[in-house]
Each structure stands twice: as C-alpha cells, then as structure tokens.
C-alpha cells in the first residue's frame, strides 16, 4: 500500500471543487450514485436508528435518504460550501444538523448507533484512517452499526484506494463484520458493536454500578 507523507487531502482541495461546481460528483443526477445509495440504505436491513453520524456528507443527497431511517442525524463536512448546500437541501428535516468539522480531530460529542462513511475514508492516509477508525469504534453505541462504502477506482488524489480502506479496517477492526458486498465499481461493508447483553454472556465483565 502506498503511504503518502501527507496525512490527508486537505480542506482547500474540497473548497476548490465546490467553488467550481455545485455538485462536483453529480450526486443529484448520476444513476450509478442513485443505485449505490439505494444499496447502502438496503444494507441497513430496515433498521431504524436513534442517532446517526454522516461523515463527509457533501451536499446532503445521501444524508436525506439516511435521515428517513433516523430520529436524529449529525452530518459533518470539512468544506464550508458543502455544509451550506447540505443545510439548504435538508432545511425541511429538523432532525438533521449539519456542521463544518474536520474529522477525526473534530469528532462530535456523544454516542451514535449508526456511523456512515461513504466515499470519504480514502482521503486519509493509513495512520489517520486507523486513528479515525478507533475514534468511530469508541463513539459507537452498543448494538450500533458502522457502515462504509467506497468506489474501487484508482485516483492520483487519494492516499489509499477504496479496496485498501476496506481491507485495512477489516483486519484492524474490533467489531463484528456482519455484511460485505463487492461490486465491480464499489465495496460496501457493515460492522456492528455487540450489545452489552452479548458481551456479558461471552464472559466479559460489565463494571459494577456499586448498587446492591
Ligand atoms: C466524495 S464526497 C462524499 C459525499 C457523501 N458521503 C456521499 O457519499 O454522497 C467526500 C466528502 O468528504 C468531505 N471530507 C473530506 N475529508 C473530510 C474530513 N477530514 N472531515 C470531514 N469531511 C471530510 C469532503 O469535503 C467531501 O464533501
């Protein structure tokens, strides 16, 4: 795996793309994206979530679809222009808040029972990616789902490929790997944190509350 010295593709690159184009990856119009988004939502197996984190939400097209499955969505993007456009698109979804944050450093507080990383982790190099992954695992509530989906194309911009992201986190991960799909153009993987009940039944201890 090529390891670039720079840890990530920086914010300025994304601001430049969004300044030139309202929708740099044609998320609103491309049939390929629509079909991939539908597979992404389908891979949640019809579950509903209390609080979700959408990492790198861009202009909010996928965020809108996710929001229909969640009581609350925290959507974040490093680009101020993307955040502006996502807020506009999601203005009729009061349960969605959109923030300009650069992850993993500016990880929102609290726990999430869904964390979605769609087409974002390959912008980080191996070290940053693993650091971010550990942050996501810690922020995942018991029974929570961490869903990742990335294209399998070669890019001169990204420090790692989509396949490398999926291979790396699969071998690093402490969560249960509960679903995997490899299509010619993208990969989708779902990981889940055991519920507290599952972990105690396997002999792991839960800290005592001190109550008798
Ligand atoms: C290719 S777009 C993916 C958009 C969306 N998740 C989807 O699949 O439709 C990647 C987005 O991630 C954002 N991004 C890149 N690095 C980020 C970081 N460190 N923290 C937050 N957002 C980031 C970019 O600004 C860009 O909007």
**If you measure from the C-alpha of residue 78 to the centroid of ligand 1, how many angstroms do you get, rounded to a whole number?**
7
Q: Spell out the SS3 assignment of the chain.
A: CCCCCCCECCHHHHHHHHHHCCCCCCCCCCHHHHHHHHHHHHCCCCCCEEEEEEECCCCCHHHHHHHCCEEEEEEEECCHHHHHHHHHHCCCCCCEEEEECCCCCCCCCCCEEEEEEECCHHHECHHHHHHHHHHHHHHEEEEEEEEEEEECCCCCCCCCCHHHHHHHHHHHCCCEEEEEEECCCEEEEEEECCCHHHHHHCCCCCCCCCCC
Sheet holding 49-55, edge to edge: 96-100, 70-77, 49-55, 112-118, 140-151, 186-192, 176-182
- Residue 124 has what pLDDT? 95
Per-residue pLDDT, 4: 53
- pLDDT value of position 164: 97
What pLDDT sits at residue 205? 45
Pocket of ligand 1 (CB under 6 A): 8, 14, 25, 27, 56-58, 61-62, 76-79, 82, 102-103, 118-120, 123
Domain assignments of the chain as residue spans, ordered by start: 11-201
Residue 212 to residue 106: CA distance in whole angstroms: 39
* Single pTM value for the model: 0.92
**What is the pLDDT of the chain when averaged over all its residues?**
92
Contacts of 104 (CB under 8 A, 6+ apart): 128, 131, 132, 135, 136
CA dist 71 and 145 (Å) reads: 15
Give, for ligand 1, the residue of 18, 78, 188 to mutate: max count of ligand atoms closer than 8 Å to Cβ: 78
pLDDT in the model for residue 108: 98
Give the residue whose CA is nearest to atom 8 of ligand 1: 118
- Sequential pLDDT tens for the chain (212 residues): 445 567 889 999 999 999 999 999 999 999 999 999 999 999 999 999 999 999 999 999 999 999 999 999 999 999 999 999 999 999 999 999 999 999 999 999 999 999 999 999 999 999 999 999 999 999 999 999 999 999 999 888 999 999 999 999 999 999 999 999 999 999 999 999 998 777 666 554 444 333 22
| Domain 11-201 annotated CATH 3.40.50.150 | yes
């Amino acid at each position: 795996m090529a390891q670039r010295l720079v840890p990530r593709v920086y914010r300025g690159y994304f601001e430049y793309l969004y300044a030139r184009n309202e929708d740099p990856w044609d998320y609103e119009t491309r049939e390929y994206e629509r079909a991939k988004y539908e597979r992404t939502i389908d891979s949640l197996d019809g579950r509903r979530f209390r609080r979700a984190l959408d990492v790198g939400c861009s202009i909010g097209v996928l965020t809108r679809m996710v929001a229909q499955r969640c009581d609350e969505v925290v959507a974040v993007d490093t680009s101020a222009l993307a955040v502006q456009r996502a807020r506009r698109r999601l203005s009729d979804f009061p349960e969605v808040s959109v923030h300009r944050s650069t992850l993993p450093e500016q990880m929102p507080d609290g726990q999430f029972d869904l964390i979605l990383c769609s087409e974002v982790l390959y912008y980080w190099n191996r070290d940053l990616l693993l650091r971010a992954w550990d942050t996501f695992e810690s922020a995942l509530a018991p029974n929570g789902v961490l869903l990742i989906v990335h294209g399998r194309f070669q890019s001169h911009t990204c420090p790692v490929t989509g396949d490398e992201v999926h291979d790396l986190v699969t071998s690093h991960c402490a969560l249960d790997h509960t679903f995997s799909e490899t299509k010619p153009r993208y990969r989708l993987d779902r990981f889940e944190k055991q519920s507290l009940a599952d972990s105690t039944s396997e002999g792991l201890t839960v800290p005592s509350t001190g109550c008798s």
